[in-house]
Amino acid sequence: MEEAGRPNLSDYFPVLKPVDRQGDVFAAGTESSWITLEWAMTELLRNPDIMKKAQLELKQTVVKEKLVEESDIVQLPYLQAIVKETFRLHPPAPLLLPRRAEREVIVCSFTVPKDALVMVNIWAIGQDPNIWANPTLFNPDRYLGSDIDFRGHDFELIPFGAGRRICPGLPLAYRMVHLMLASLIHSYDWKLEEGMKLEDVNMDEHFGISLQKAEPLRAIPIKG
């Protein structure tokens, strides 16, 4: 389908009041990143083996007393796989941003009329068993030895969108999310609140333009 224009968001989501462009960029940049971080930490706390493996990779790559730096990220393939898996199961923008068809087009034998509002449900793509083996399982290993990436070329994983209107903040978000996650788990061990079991962690999603956790994660850092 030809790249289509972006309709005015507040025409479709009246809850979104028009804000100045600086405010837009600030909101787009901070919210998606902390949402990703919260889901990633939640998955790591629910999957202690994956947490241990990620911490071991960090221990072998970054000296314990040293803070993680941006330049370390390329040497942390398992951490990168955790971020990919977090984006697959918990994409912060589950429907990307709406598009409008500039002209009538046929996509996979469906006719999309001119001016139709088009939403891409990447949440559903991430859960599709025709694309992913055991889709409900949080399994970063699925990316090891695979070239799949989220920079807009592999359409099964497009948390930042794709094409001309792909998220312009991707390079910054890439650095922030990896660096923050790596720093949290390199500097601290983590546990759930007293008396809470792994299966008690609430994984409900608050569905909207962004896909937040319905109940904020509460985790306790332990100085390692």
Chain contacts with ligand HEM (rule: CB under 6 A):
6, 25, 28-29, 32-33, 36, 92-93, 96-97, 159-161, 165-169, 172-173, 177
Map tokens 């390199």 to a residue. 186
Shortest distance in whole angstroms from residue 90 CB to ligand HEM: 10
The answer to whether the CB of 50 falls within 8 A of the CB of 83 is no
Provide the annotated binding site for heme. 167
Q: How far is residue 10's CA from residue 91's CA, in Å, rounded to a whole number?
A: 21
Q: How far is the CB of 62 from ligand HEM (least distance, A)?
A: 22
Helix-then-strand count for the chain, H and E: 6, 8
Q: Closer to ligand HEM by CB, 119 or 144: give it.
A: 119
Q: How far is the CB of 145 from ligand HEM (least distance, A)?
A: 24
Burial per residue of 142-178, b for 16 or more beta-carbon CB atoms within 10 angstroms, e otherwise = bbeeeeeebebeeeebbbbbbeeeebebeeebbebbb
Q: Which is nearer to ligand HEM, 6 or 218 (CB)?
A: 6
Q: Minimum Å distance from CB 140 to ligand HEM? A: 17
For residue 131, the minimal CB distance to ligand HEM (Å) is 18
Side-chain half-sphere CA neighbours of 82 within 13 A: 33
Q: In sequence order, which ranges of the chain are alpha helices (DSSP H)?
A: 9-12, 21-46, 48-61, 77-89, 122-126, 170-187
DSSP classification of residue 99: E
CB closer to ligand HEM out of 5 and 48: 5
Residue indicated by tokens 């998220």:
167
Our CB check for ligand HEM shows the closer of 20 and 194 to be 20
Cβ pair 81, 200 in contact under 8 A: no
Q: Which residue, 165 or 213, is less far from ligand HEM as judged by CB?
A: 165
User: Residue 93 Cβ, how far from ligand HEM at the closest point, in Å?
Assistant: 4
Q: Which residues are annotated as a binding site?
A: 167
Cβ nearer to ligand HEM, comparing 76 with 176: 176
The whole-angstrom separation of Cα 43 and Cα 139 is: 10
